[in-house]
Chain A
Amino acid sequence: MTVTIRTLVGASLVLALTGAASAETTITVATVNNGDMIRMQRLMPDFYAQHPDIKVNWVTLEENVLRQRVTTDIASKGGQYDVLTIGNYEVPIWAKQGWLLALDNLGADYKQADLLPQVAAALTVDSKLYAVPFYAESSMLMYRTDLLEKAGLKMPENPDWDFITTAAAKMTDKAAGVYGICLRGKAGWGENMAFITTMNNTMGGSWFDMQWKPQFDGAEWKKTLSTYLDLMGKYGPPGASSNGFNENLALFQTGKCGMWIDATVAASFISDPKESKVADKVGFAPTPTRAGGSNHGNWLWSWNLGIPASTKKADAARTFVAWATSPAYLKLVAEKEGIANVPPGTRTSLYENPEYLKVAPFAKMTLTAIQSANTAHPSDKPVPYTGGQFVAIPEFQAIGTAVGQQFSAALAGKATVDQALAAAQTLTAREMTRAGYPK
C-alpha cells in the first residue's frame, strides 16, 4: 500500500517537474573553448537566478569546426543555434547578408556607450550593432625583461624592426635553448597571416591597391617577408613553421623566447605565475613598426555574441546576450573569479578601474593597442577594404590560407622570398579575378 502511495507521489512529482520544464525556453549557444567562455559557463547560476524561465544549452567546438558548423547552419537557415560566438571578421559580412539580428535595444543598464569605440565600430553596419563583444584583443610585443637587461638594451617606447633584430640577436642563446624571437609560422588566415599581414601594415604595405590588384610584387611585401624570415631563421626556435599561438605560448611560458609578438590576450597567460615560469619577468611594448613609422599593424580581433536571423527564440537570446556582455557580468566575474579574470578589451570602464590596473600590469598596453587599431584604414596607403590582420571580404579565408601556406613553406626553407611572393601574387590575382573583383 505504502509503495503504491509512494509511487503515486513520485509520479505526480515527475509530472509536476516536466510541466514546469515545458514552460521554459531553451536556447542553444555555440561557442569556442576559450578560458573566458568556459568561465561564463561556470557563472550560469547567476543567469538562471535572474531568468528561471530560460535554459541554456552549450555547444562548444574548436574554432574552425565552429566556423564551418555555424556557417552551414546560418546559410541554410537551419536554426539550430540561437546565439553564435563569431569573430569580427564574420560580423560585417554576415550582417550584410541579412543573417544576423540587429542588437541596438539591450536596455539602459547595458551602457552601450561604454563599449570601446574601436571594437564596437568593427561590429557596426549602417550604424547598427550586429553583435556584441565578449572579449577583444589587439597585438603587442611581449618580452623578457631579464634577458633584455642582460643584453644591455632598453626597450624604446616605440620599438622599430631594426631594434627587434638587434635585440633578438643579443638575446639568442641557442646552447641554453633560448631564442630571441618567437612568431607564428603555422599556415592559416588566422594563424601566420594574422601576424604577417599586420607586419606588412607596419611596413607601409597592403594586400590590394584601390583597383583590388594584389601587392605581393611590391617593395613592402618583400621587406616584410625577408625581415620575417631573417628574424625567424637566425633567432627563431626550430620547427617554427608549425607554431601557432598555443605553441608560442608554451615556448614563452617555459622561458624559451626572448620576445613574442602576438595577441594581447596572451599577456594574462604569461603573467600568471600558476602557468608561467617567467611571470615576474615580462614586459610589454607596442607592436614594432618601421623606422619612423607610426602604424602598429592595426590588429583587432574580438569574439562576439550574435543572434542568427533564423532563431525562433530571439527574445530569450537577446536576454542572454545582454547578460553575458553587460557591465553587471564584468562585476560578477570580478566578484566570483577575481578582477584579473574579467574578459578584457570590451569596456572603457574596466580600464578606468584602479583595481584592475593594479592586478593587470598589461592592461595599459592592451588598451593602447586596441585604441590605436584603425581597421577602417589599416594601411598607410589608401585601400578598398577594411580589417587589420585580415581583409574583410568573404574570399579572404581561402586566399589568406593559401598565401599562408606559401609563407610557411618559405619559413621551412622550401622556397625563397621571391618564389613565395611570386606564388602568392599569382594565386591571389587568380582567385580575385575568379571572384569577380573589382566589384
Chain B
Amino acid sequence: MAREVSTGRKALVTAVAWGIGLLIFFPILWTVLTSFKTEGEAVAPHPSFLFFDWTLENYETVNARSDYLLHFWNSVVIALGSTLVGLLIAIPAAWSMAFVPGRRTKDLLMWMLSTKMMPAVGVLVPIYLLARDTGLLDTRVGLVAVLTLVNLPIIVWMLYTYFKEIPGEILEAARMDGASLGSEILYVLTPMAVPGIASTLLLNVILAWNESFWTLNLTAANAAPLTAFIASYSSPEGLFYAKLSAASTMAIAPILILGWFSQKQLVRGLTFGAVK
C-alpha cells in the first residue's frame, strides 16, 4: 500500500515548489515589467513593482528603430536549421555508439564532450578566418554550420542515452525480418525514440536561439539574429534599461511560448532514463 501523505505536507511541498518557481521566474518578470516603464522609472532607486505609469513607448521606439522581423526570421532559420542538420548527423552517430559500440566508443564520447570545455573565444580567430575565406561571414548558412558543430556533442550525448534505453533485441528482430540498416534506423529505432528525439530537438532549438557568442561575432547586418537585436540596446552613455528590457521581452517571447506548450516533452526528455 502506498504511503499516506498528509495534507499539510502536500501543502508545504506545493508552497516550496511555487516559491522556487517564482524565484527563478522573477528576473524574467522584472524584465517584462521594466519594459513598460519609462527610462527614469527603470533606474529609480526605489523601483515600484506594479504601480507605475505603464507605457508602450519602449516597444514603439524599438519597433521604429530595428527590423524585428528580420532578426526574428534569422533566429528561426539558425535555430531550426542547426538543430535539424545536427539531428541528421547525430542519429546515425548515436545509433552506432549505442548498439555497435567499439573499444573506443566511451573515449570518443568523452572526447566529443571535452570539446565543449574549451572557451569559444579560443577558436574565434581561426573560425572567423575560415568563414571569411569561404564567404560565410554574416550569412545564415555559416551560422547554421557553426552552431551545428557547437551543439553536436550535446545532441549526440542526449540521443546516445535515449538509445541505450531501447533493448537491442528489438533491432535484432527487425534485422531477422530482413530490414536493412537504413530502414532499421528509420522505421524501428526512430519511432521508438521519438520522445527522446523531440526533447533533444526542443532543447537544442532553445540553446541555438540563446547562443550569443558566435551569433554576435560572425554576423553584421544580414544574418544577425535576436541576440544582436538585444545587444544593440545597451549604451555606455545614456539610460537604456527600459528599451533593453522591451527588446529582450520581444526576443524571448517566442521561445517562452514554445517552451510553455512543449513543457511535457521537455520535462520527460530531461528526466528520461532517471526512472527505470
Chain A residues close to B by CB (< 8 Å): 28, 30, 32-35, 38, 41, 57-63, 65, 68-69, 72-73, 76-81, 177, 190, 245-247, 249-251, 253-254, 256, 263, 265-266, 269, 275
Query: A249–B240 Cα gap in the complex (Å)?
Result: 12
Chain B 47-86 interface residues, beta-carbon cutoff 8 Å to A: 65
Contact across chains for B45 and A256 when beta carbons are under 8 A apart: yes
- Counting residue pairs across A and B whose Cβ atoms lie within 8 Å, the total is 93
* Inter-chain contacts of A62 with B (CB < 8 A): 231-232, 234-236
Of chain A, the residue at the smallest CB distance from B230 is A62
Of the A-B pairs whose beta carbons lie under 8 Å apart in the complex, a sample of 22, sorted by A's number, is: A28-B221, A30-B220, A33-B234, A34-B236, A34-B237, A41-B65, A58-B221, A59-B220, A61-B216, A62-B235, A63-B236, A78-B128, A80-B220, A177-B45, A246-B237, A249-B239, A250-B43, A251-B45, A253-B40, A254-B40, A263-B237, A275-B39
The answer to whether B238 has its CB under 8 Å from any CB of chain A is yes
* Inter-chain contacts of A253 with B (CB < 8 A): 40
The answer to whether B186 has its CB under 8 Å from any CB of chain A is no
Contact across chains for B125 and A76 when beta carbons are under 8 A apart: yes
State how many angstroms separate the Cβ of A211 from the closest Cβ of chain B: 34
Contact across chains for A33 and B240 when beta carbons are under 8 A apart: yes
Contact across chains for A33 and B129 when beta carbons are under 8 A apart: no
Contact across chains for A72 and B239 when beta carbons are under 8 A apart: no
The answer to whether B44 has its CB under 8 Å from any CB of chain A is yes
Query: A323–B45 Cα gap in the complex (Å)?
Result: 41
Contact across chains for A69 and B39 when beta carbons are under 8 A apart: no
Contact across chains for B235 and A34 when beta carbons are under 8 A apart: yes
Query: A116–B238 Cα gap in the complex (Å)?
Result: 24
Counting from the closest, the 8 A-B pairs by CB-CB distance are: A60-B232, A57-B221, A62-B234, A250-B43, A33-B235, A63-B236, A80-B220, A78-B132
What 0/1 pattern do residues 214 to 227 of B give for CB contact below 8 A with A? 00110011101000
Query: A251–B43 Cα gap in the complex (Å)?
Result: 9
Contact across chains for B236 and A38 when beta carbons are under 8 A apart: no
The answer to whether B228 has its CB under 8 Å from any CB of chain A is yes
Contact across chains for A65 and B221 when beta carbons are under 8 A apart: no
* Inter-chain contacts of B224 with A (CB < 8 A): 59
Contact across chains for B240 and A81 when beta carbons are under 8 A apart: no
Interface of A is mostly: mixed
* Inter-chain contacts of B234 with A (CB < 8 A): 33, 62-63
* Inter-chain contacts of B99 with A (CB < 8 A): none
Contact across chains for B124 and A78 when beta carbons are under 8 A apart: no
* Inter-chain contacts of B43 with A (CB < 8 A): 246-247, 250
Set B39, B222, B238: member contacting A34, Cβ < 8 A: B238
What 0/1 pattern do residues 22 to 44 of B give for CB contact below 8 A with A? 00000000000000000110011
The answer to whether B272 has its CB under 8 Å from any CB of chain A is no
Set A35, A72, A190: member contacting B238, Cβ < 8 A: A35
Contact across chains for A78 and B40 when beta carbons are under 8 A apart: no
* Inter-chain contacts of B138 with A (CB < 8 A): 80
Query: A73–B217 Cα gap in the complex (Å)?
Result: 9
State how many angstroms separate the Cβ of B220 from the closest Cβ of chain A: 4
State how many angstroms separate the Cβ of B228 from the closest Cβ of chain A: 7
Contact across chains for A81 and B220 when beta carbons are under 8 A apart: yes
Of chain A, the residue at the smallest CB distance from B224 is A59
State how many angstroms separate the Cβ of B42 from the closest Cβ of chain A: 9
Set A246, A247, A256, A263: member contacting B235, Cβ < 8 A: A246
The answer to whether B158 has its CB under 8 Å from any CB of chain A is no
Contact across chains for A72 and B231 when beta carbons are under 8 A apart: no
Query: A297–B249 Cα gap in the complex (Å)?
Result: 42
Set B129, B236, B239: member contacting A32, Cβ < 8 A: B236
Query: A246–B236 Cα gap in the complex (Å)?
Result: 7
Query: A97–B32 Cα gap in the complex (Å)?
Result: 45
Set B40, B65, B221: member contacting A38, Cβ < 8 A: B65
Contact across chains for B217 and A69 when beta carbons are under 8 A apart: yes
Q: A61-B231, A249-B238, A266-B237 given. 18 additional CB < 8 A pairs?
A: A28-B220, A32-B235, A33-B240, A38-B65, A57-B221, A61-B216, A61-B228, A62-B231, A63-B235, A73-B128, A81-B220, A246-B238, A246-B240, A247-B43, A250-B239, A265-B237, A269-B238, A275-B239
Of chain B, the residue at the smallest CB distance from A80 is B220
Query: A247–B125 Cα gap in the complex (Å)?
Result: 34
Query: A54–B100 Cα gap in the complex (Å)?
Result: 59
* Inter-chain contacts of A41 with B (CB < 8 A): 65
Query: A337–B232 Cα gap in the complex (Å)?
Result: 23
Q: Which of B125, B138, B232 has the most CB of A within 10 A?
A: B232
Contact across chains for B221 and A76 when beta carbons are under 8 A apart: no
Query: A275–B40 Cα gap in the complex (Å)?
Result: 7
Chain B 191-237 interface residues, beta-carbon cutoff 8 Å to A: 216-217, 220-222, 224, 228, 231-237
Contact across chains for B128 and A76 when beta carbons are under 8 A apart: yes
State how many angstroms separate the Cβ of B141 from the closest Cβ of chain A: 16
Contact across chains for A80 and B137 when beta carbons are under 8 A apart: yes
Contact across chains for B228 and A254 when beta carbons are under 8 A apart: no
State how many angstroms separate the Cβ of A389 from the closest Cβ of chain B: 14
Query: A291–B73 Cα gap in the complex (Å)?
Result: 61
* Inter-chain contacts of B137 with A (CB < 8 A): 78, 80
Chain B 122-148 interface residues, beta-carbon cutoff 8 Å to A: 124-125, 128-129, 132, 137-138
* Inter-chain contacts of A269 with B (CB < 8 A): 238
* Inter-chain contacts of B125 with A (CB < 8 A): 72, 76
Given A72-B124, A72-B125, A72-B217, A254:B232 Cβ within 8 A: no
Query: A251–B234 Cα gap in the complex (Å)?
Result: 18
Set A33, A38, A72: member contacting B128, Cβ < 8 A: A72
State how many angstroms separate the Cβ of A81 from the closest Cβ of chain B: 7
Chain B 227-258 interface residues, beta-carbon cutoff 8 Å to A: 228, 231-240
Of chain B, the residue at the smallest CB distance from A37 is B235
* Inter-chain contacts of A79 with B (CB < 8 A): 132
Q: Which of B39, B220, B237, B240 has the most CB of A within 10 A?
A: B237
Contact across chains for B231 and A76 when beta carbons are under 8 A apart: no
State how many angstroms separate the Cβ of A329 from the closest Cβ of chain B: 19
Query: A59–B227 Cα gap in the complex (Å)?
Result: 12
* Inter-chain contacts of B222 with A (CB < 8 A): 57
State how many angstroms separate the Cβ of B222 from the closest Cβ of chain A: 8
